[in-house]
Structure 1
Amino acid sequence: MLPIRDDTPSRTFPLVTFLLVLANGLVWLWEVSLGSGAALTSAYLRFGFMPGVLTGAHEAPPGALQPYILTTLTSMFMHGSWTHILGNMLFLWIFGNNIEDHLGHGKYLLFYLAGGVAAAMTQLLSGPSSMLPTIGASGAIAAVMGAYFFLFPRAKVQTLVFFIFITTVRLPAWIFLGIWFVMQLFEGTFGTAQGVAVWAHVGGFLFGVLIAWISSRRGRTRMEYEV
């Protein structure tokens, strides 16, 4: 399933979402300029996140960013293929504008980055000695999706479905995102998605739900106080 658009308009221009898409795109063009050889591998080792380095199970590779915890941030701006970045940016653009509208530009940026770090830490827990570089914005975007799942469950998502033939359907957001989340849990539990950091997706999504729940409770408390 691939989202095409939703039916929830935002009240403001999603400036931060736009800048995040732009930043990811520029980093990707830089990666493309490195070619597919040693220079690109070196970039992955320098800016990608390897849980085994942060836990002390392995030495950091030569040239790795220091302090190493910063790779939890830099890794979320790197991608491994055209389909990787285009898919991620599509999801971010569709679901990010409404969360940015809800939180405000500054808080949304902090939420996005914190979601990416939370996703990286979840991936670390799933494999604390792993030396595979984890890259991609999907953990942070999963946090955005988790917040959307909580805040806009009845929004309709126009979805491209690949099943025998290609068609489009309008699904409630809670169904579309719920199916996506269950798929991540299944793939993480049974190991059906090789080379994909599915536990980062799970951790990011749950982080997004939690922050959206806290945000909505604070909003209700503030309204009750003002009344």
Structure 2
Amino acid sequence: MIPIRDTAPCYSRPLATWGLIVVCVIIFVWLQFLPFEVSNPLIARFGMVPLRYSDPSWAEHVGLPFDGYLSFLTSLFLHGNWFHLIINMWFLWIFGDNIEDRMGHLSFLAFYLLCGLIATALQWYFDPRLEIPVVGASGPIAGVLAAYFFLYPLERVVLWVPPIVVHVPAIAFLGLWVIIQLYEATTSILFEGGVAKMAWWAHLGGFIAGFLLYRLFLKKPPDGIKMEDSSSFKI
């Protein structure tokens, strides 16, 4: 089940969305050209390693001195492999433009980064002993999905479900996405010894942050005009 596009109209160029995609792609491609002995330490340094902040003595021992939590931000622009990068950028491409349209370029960028920071912090809280870097834009993108969920619940998301293409309401597609994240996150806690393949709590943290914060970043409508969520006038 792969989203192809959405049906929500966009009335401005999503410059911030495009810029985020370009930056993530450039960083990933650049790291691919570096020798492993160079790229791996960079990912460890700029990816968010939870144990680095939970146990400063361990971090100093392995050569990861305290960085003022900078990696909570820089980790949002790193990705583990091509599939990880493509999926994240594809979701940002489909859903980011409409949210940026409703917020404006700078407000959208601030919203995106804030959701990412909260998402990474929640992942650290629930998995403080993890020794490997947490990387990826999934957290802030989850915040974007939350904003889309509430602003465009009845817009259609066009999905490729081999061998057919179907149109489903955004509230159904994104609701299923949330259920999957919640299931995976809780399963990773309930079953000790299980190794989570993804930072599920970062996904949920980003979505929760997006839900709580998106209204604070929406553009104010012109005087005399009341802007409403698309759910109130679109079917």
Tell me the TM-score normalised to structure 2 length. Answer: 0.85
SS at match of 1:130: coil
Displacement after TM superposition at 1:40 (Å):
2.2
Give me the whole-angstrom Cα distance separating, in 1, the residues matched to 2:9 and 2:173.
18
Q: 1:213 to 1:223 in 2, by over 3 A?
A: farther
- Correspondence for 1:180: 177
SS at match of 2:69: helix
- Correspondence for 1:157: 157
CA-based RMSD of the aligned residues comes to 2.3
Q: 1:46 to 1:215 in 2, by over 3 A?
A: closer
User: Which of 195, 208, 211 is the equivalent residue of 2:210?
Assistant: 208
CA contact 2:116–2:206 (8 Å) conserved in 1: yes
The aligned amino acid for 2:107 is K
- Correspondence for 1:48: 47
The aligned amino acid for 2:24 is N
The aligned amino acid for 1:142 is A
Displacement after TM superposition at 1:224 (Å):
9.6
Q: Percent identity?
A: 38
- Correspondence for 2:232: none
CA contact 1:150–1:212 (8 Å) conserved in 2: no
- Correspondence for 2:75: 75
Give me the whole-angstrom Cα distance separating, in 1, the residues matched to 2:224 and 2:48.
41
The aligned amino acid for 1:173 is A
Displacement after TM superposition at 1:125 (Å):
1.4
The aligned amino acid for 1:56 is D
Displacement after TM superposition at 1:71 (Å):
0.5
Give me the whole-angstrom Cα distance separating, in 1, the residues matched to 2:217 and 2:70.
27
Give me the whole-angstrom Cα distance separating, in 2, the residues matched to 1:65 and 1:170.
49
Give me the whole-angstrom Cα distance separating, in 1, the residues matched to 2:163 and 2:128.
40
What count of residue pairs does the alignment treat as equivalent?
218
The aligned amino acid for 2:112 is Y
Displacement after TM superposition at 1:206 (Å):
1.0
The aligned amino acid for 1:80 is G
Displacement after TM superposition at 1:130 (Å):
1.8
1:64-113 CA-partner distances (Å, limit 9, x unpaired):
47624110111111111111101100000100001101111111000011
- Correspondence for 1:5: 5
- More off after superposition, 203-212 vs 13-22: 203-212
- Correspondence for 2:231: none
- Correspondence for 1:23: 23
Unaligned 5+ runs, structure 1: none
